[in-house]
Structure formats: structure tokens, C-alpha cells
Chains A and B, each alone.
Chain A
Amino acid sequence: MKQLDLTIEEIRKLLDSGQITSEDLIKDSLDKAHQYQEEYNSFVTILDDAKHEVKGNSVLNGIPYTLKDNISTKGILTTGSSNILSDYVPVYDATIVKKLKDSGAVLVGKTVLDELAMGGSGTTGHTGIVRNPWDKNRLIGGSSAGSAASVALGITPFSIGSDTGDSIRKPAAYGGVVGFKPTYGRISRYGVFAFASSLDNVGCITRSVKDAAYVTDILKGKDERDMTSLPNTDEVYADCLENDIKGKKLFYIKEACNLDNYKDVNDEELTATLNNFYEVIEKCREIGFIVEEVSIDRDLLNALYPAYMCISCAEATSNNANLTGILFGKRGVGNNVDDIIFDARTKGFSEFIKRRFVMGSFVLQKENQERLFLNAGRVRRMIVDKINELFKDYDGLIMPSSDSIAPIIGNKTEQLSDRYLILGNHLVIGNFGGFPSISIPSGFVNGLPVSVNITGRQFEDGLTLNMAYKIESVLGYKGQVAKGDK
């Protein structure tokens, strides 16, 4: 059904004019979810009994959506894509699930993630690999893998994900759709499985910037159950989008984007991705942005990803200590409590996750704390201070969302190159500083989508969306789907 390929805004008009009904949308969404499940594996659970029961009066009323399976849903299986939680059914809704219910949005499926959200490939969930709708031999990326795939496949116009390093924005980029994480704390995390609490954000994947604003307007707000949630704001993001951006200043990082950095690499897709980025920069200038190149210490940039690994893995070891299989989750066998927990965790975690946990434990050992864990926190402060200083002169940072198109499943990456450490992983800056950050599609390289990312000042979600909206309007990739009926 072609209506599912449309944006929220377009579907809203059809619903309000009576040309379609919510019941039709839900049925077609479920049909499509099943149609693509075997090939792309977006879902842990497809909710065949989904109904439009709560009639809200919001823009999302009657519109189907999908939700990452690390977000608690009362009475509905919520696995975190991990074997240890493969039969866990929460007894309460996350705050954001309640908000979406009240708005009249209809949940049709829980989406696959990298196990416990710790990964960027979409290949480590306990129910298998999520494939890229533009080319099923390629990764969709993660960890919000099924969320990005479900939107790119035209199953729903939006999905909810979580983002600790780039877990909404990277899969959105590989899927040719929009991924937005607002300022840290803007959206409640109550009921969302914690990965790294000082970095975790909730956000959305949509097919337009306006839709991202609509969804964030519904989700945002203070929650007394989440002490890190920000106070309420009167700003309506969907109303900020048409503001004039003439004279707004953007910068990009020379050490990541300059083609001369990669002369020796001789990679056609990398070059094409950066050429696409420079074309976007030109278009930004044409519509009134001032865009400048800025240099940042290369040693600091090279340390971002290692620092992210230290902080996120260390926090994850602590956050996931509650997965014992005793109070909830799959129970182990043994003659005493320790043995039962050992058995549950040994069988319940995949090898990949265990390696991440061991890494976290390593950086937290007394002898490594100063050199690794505390130094990682120092790297974090240095880059956040630097970006905040630049944000005194600039309104935003614009960068390619990734170093290339979605990788082929199984391909190895060189993990010590500038390309990997800086261009491939700079989105962690958004989490280090809690900055609002959005990836929007900017074209194609070899038939696969590429994307640019706009990161704004802390708390300025409205302006960030406003700038992204204006850039989206001159790029021409709004509303695209990989497997549409259009």
C-alpha cells in the first residue's frame, strides 16, 4: 500500500480527509512487516493484534510505528535482542511508550538491535542479522538496526530507537532515512534498558526532518521517573522549521573531511562520499549558510573512539550487572546462587557482548583506571570544551554521517586508520556533549545511500532541526524508501 511510503505529515492529511483509515494502515503495515521479515529480519516481535484503541488528538493519531526491543512494553516481549532476556515480558511501559499510546500512535512491532544496544553493525542480535533494504548483502548498521530497516522498507513512517554512540544516526544514514537524537535528557529514558547512562539518548528514525520534529514534540518533556530528564520547554520543534537560516554558521572538521588526508587510501567510495559532502556544503552556501573548515588537534580526534569504548564498556559492565536470570530473564542451573548466575550469563550473552564486558572490566581495574578510564573522561571533556568553544562562533557542525556507504556483511575494517577513528566514528561527539544531532540522506554512491549529519548546541534542538530542514529541502531525498510501492 503506497500510503505507508509517505511521511507522517502526508499520511495525517489522508487520515483527516477520510481517504484512508487507521485500520487499513495497520493491516497493511503488518502485511508488509511479514512480507519482508524473512529477507531483512527487522523484527523480534510483530504485533498481529495491533489495534487503534486509544484515540488521541495528536499528529500521530492512528499512525503505525515500530519500537526498538530495548524499550519496555507492558505485556509485550522485550528482549534487548539478547538470549538472556529472550522470554522477558515487562510489567510496565516505558514513559515514551505511554506517551505514544496517549497520542494515538499504534505499535506494530518490536525491532531487532545489536545485543543490548552494544554494537554498530546490526549483526549481533539473538534472532540474527538485520539486512540493508537497499542491498541485502550489506549491513544496515546498528544498534537501532531493525528500526532503520522498518522505516527504509516502508513498513512504518517512523520508529523509536536509542543512541549511545551513533546508534540511531548511523543506521538511518545507511538506510537512506532521517535519524535524530535530541539533547541528552530531552526525552525520558525511564523503561529503556541502560547501556551507558552518561551517553544514552532516545530518539527517532523517520523519512523527513519535519516528522522527526513531530515525533520529538510528542516524546520530549520532564519525567519525574528519570532524574536526568530536562525541564519542559515551550518550544514546539515542528514550528521552528521555517525560521530563516540566512547567515547561520556551520563548520566541518578538516582532519576528517579533507580529501588530501586519504590520498594513500585510494578508495573510490570514500572519495565519492566526501565529494557528495562537498556538494551538500555548496548547496548550504547557496541557501544562505556560511560554512567554514575548522582544524582540530588530530591526536584528540584519534582518541575519540578509544575514549568512547572505555567509557561505554565500563558503564555497560555496571548497568548489565542486574542480568542474573534470578529475578527476570532466563534462569541458569547450578547448586548455588553464584553458579546459577554464572550459567545464566555464560549461556545468555553472546561472545561479542562478553568481549565488550571484559573490555569494560579491563579499563576499570585499579591499575588501569587512571591511564584509561579517567583519561577517557579527560578526552571527553577536551573535545566537548572544544566543540562548545566553536559553538560560540558557529551554530552547528556539519559532517558526513559516515566514511562511506553501508559495508558488505562480513567485511573487515582497518580499525587503526584516521578514516575509521575519525571519519567513521565522529558521531560520538554528539553523545559526549549531549548535543542534538541529526543525520539526513544526501544522495547515493554506487546505488547506496549516503548522508550528512548536523549537530547543534546543547538544548537548541529547535535550531538544529530548523537547519536540517532547510538543508533537506535543497537535497531532494525527503521521504525516500528502499522498497516502496510509489
Chain B
Amino acid sequence: MITKEKLKNYAEKLMFNMNESEYETLMNEFDVIMEQMDLIGKIKDIEKVEPMTFPYNIYVNQLREDIAKDPLTTDEALQNAKEVKYNQVKVPKVVG
């Protein structure tokens, strides 16, 4: 059973807020989604199948050689951060 409280909890775990009208829309959407999801459960003997997580079987791991390379420069790595101090990204104090 989907409740607004549950949806709020999921949104919180995802680290964003939604307003009341957005939850309203989401609740309505979930009515359809739950019916769609029920279609998955209708499939006979589905529990006997191994879930698929990749489009095809890979028999050989593709690992590259461990060769040192030049990474991004500090300037490049910090270029998109909005607050920078002492060549580091600045955020509010985490530890008191």
C-alpha cells in the first residue's frame, strides 16, 4: 500500500523535497504504476528465472593494464566547484 508518508520517506532518502501538489500527482501516478507492476507478477514460474543484469554474458573480464597516467589537474578538477579554498572544495564545517 502506497502512502504519502512512504513517498516522502523515499524522496528524503534521495535528498530532495517535493511540494504537496507534486505528491498529489505522484500518488495518482502510482495508481497506474502499481497496476503496471502487477503485470510482472502475472508471469508463470517467474521465480525460477535468474534475474538478468547485463544484456549478454561476458566470459572474460576486461581489465586494463595498471599503468599510471596523468589525471585531471587540480585547476581542472575544481573548475566547476562554486566555492574553492586552498585548492579544495569549500563546504560548511562538518566536524565540530
Residues of A within 8 A of B (CB): 88-89, 91-92, 184, 198-199, 224, 227, 297, 299-300, 302-303, 305-307, 309-310, 317, 324-329, 331, 334-338, 340-342, 345-346, 349, 351, 354-355, 357-359, 361-362, 365, 371-372, 374-382, 384, 415-416, 421, 431-435, 458
Q: Contact at A375–B25, with CB atoms within 8 Å?
A: no
Residues of B within 8 A of A (CB): 2, 6-7, 10-11, 13-18, 22, 25-26, 29, 32-33, 35-37, 39-44, 46-47, 49-56, 62-64, 72, 76-77, 79-83, 89, 91-92, 94
Residues of chain B contacted by A303 (CB below 8 angstroms): 39-40, 42-43
Q: Contact at A91–B79, with CB atoms within 8 Å?
A: yes
Quick one: given A299-B42, A380-B52, are A372 and B79 in contact (CB under 8 Å)? no
Q: Contact at A184–B49, with CB atoms within 8 Å?
A: no
Residues of chain A contacted by B10 (CB below 8 angstroms): 358, 361-362, 365
> Chain A's nearest CB lies how many Å from the CB of B47?
8
Q: Contact at B14–A337, with CB atoms within 8 Å?
A: no
| B interface, over-half SS | loop
Residues of chain A contacted by B52 (CB below 8 angstroms): 377-378, 380-381, 384, 432
Residues of chain B contacted by A324 (CB below 8 angstroms): 15
Q: Contact at B40–A340, with CB atoms within 8 Å?
A: no
Give the docked Cα–Cα distance between A340 and B79 (Å).
Answer: 19
Of B13, B53, B81, B94, the residue contacting A328 (CB under 8 A) is B81
Q: Contact at B92–A306, with CB atoms within 8 Å?
A: no
Q: List 5 A-B contacts (CB under 8 A).
A: A91-B79, A198-B54, A328-B81, A329-B80, A334-B92
Q: Contact at A335–B92, with CB atoms within 8 Å?
A: yes
Which residue of chain B is the closest to A376 with respect to CB atoms? B40
Of A334, A382, A432, the residue contacting B55 (CB under 8 A) is A432
Q: Contact at B16–A349, with CB atoms within 8 Å?
A: yes
Which residue of chain A is the closest to B2 with respect to CB atoms? A362
Q: Contact at A421–B39, with CB atoms within 8 Å?
A: yes
> Chain B's nearest CB lies how many Å from the CB of A158?
25
A-B contacts besides A91-B76, A358-B7, A358-B10, 5 pairs, CB < 8 Å: A303-B40, A325-B82, A351-B18, A358-B26, A361-B11
Residues of chain B contacted by A458 (CB below 8 angstroms): 55-56
Residue among B39, B46, B64, B72 with most chain A CB within 10 A: B39
Q: Contact at A434–B43, with CB atoms within 8 Å?
A: no
Residues of chain A contacted by B76 (CB below 8 angstroms): 91-92
Q: Contact at A355–B26, with CB atoms within 8 Å?
A: yes
Q: Contact at B79–A89, with CB atoms within 8 Å?
A: yes
Q: Contact at A338–B15, with CB atoms within 8 Å?
A: yes
Which residue of chain A is the closest to B42 with respect to CB atoms? A299
Residues of chain A contacted by B55 (CB below 8 angstroms): 184, 198-199, 384, 431-435, 458
Q: Contact at A299–B44, with CB atoms within 8 Å?
A: yes
Q: Contact at A377–B51, with CB atoms within 8 Å?
A: yes
Of A306, A338, A340, A382, the residue contacting B39 (CB under 8 A) is A306
Of B6, B53, B82, the residue contacting A377 (CB under 8 A) is B53
Q: Contact at A361–B40, with CB atoms within 8 Å?
A: no
Give the docked Cα–Cα distance between A267 and B4 (Å).
Answer: 37
Q: Which 7 A-B pairs have the closest CB atoms?
A: A377-B51, A434-B55, A328-B80, A381-B52, A345-B16, A361-B10, A331-B82
Q: Contact at B81–A327, with CB atoms within 8 Å?
A: yes
Which residue of chain B is the closest to A383 with respect to CB atoms? B52
Quick one: given A88-B80, A224-B64, A340-B92, are A299 and B43 in contact (CB under 8 Å)? yes
Q: Contact at A374–B82, with CB atoms within 8 Å?
A: no
Give the docked Cα–Cα distance between A303 and B38 (Å).
Answer: 9
Give the docked Cα–Cα distance between A354 and B7 (Å).
Answer: 11
Residues of chain B contacted by A416 (CB below 8 angstroms): 32, 35-36
Residues of chain B contacted by A378 (CB below 8 angstroms): 43, 46-47, 49-52
